[in-house]
Amino acid sequence: MNCRLGCGACCIAPSITTPIPGMPHGKPAGVRCIQLNDGNLCMLFGKLERPAVCGQFAATEDVCGASNEEALWLISSLEQATSI
């Protein structure tokens, strides 16, 4: 599956524990990444500053569903299920 441009769920729903430019302590789950622009596109895409975890994310139907809204729900649910 290809990423749906403008979705942004993977930049909002999960927590990221590694530093992100502008967010030196990472970001909590449900918080919009500071590097996500108004069109829900990553401003670090393809740049060395992009966290490795972001580059390793792969859009799949079981994680991203059939819509942006479903992706946000699915990734949020996965985040909750795996939080300690």
**pLDDT tens digits, one per residue of 22-69:** 999 999 999 999 999 999 999 999 999 999 999 999 999 999 999 999
The C-alpha atoms of residue 12 and residue 35 are separated, in whole angstroms, by 11
List alpha helices for 1-84, DSSP H: 52-56, 61-64, 68-82
- The pLDDT of residue 84 is 67
What pLDDT is stored for residue 83 in this prediction? 81
Helix (H, G, I), strand (E, B) or coil at 23: strand
81 pLDDT more than 90: yes
Q: Is the pTM of this model over 0.75?
A: yes
Distance, in Å, from the CA atom of 27 to the CA atom of 3, rounded to the nearest integer, reads 21
Tell me what pLDDT residue 56 has.
95
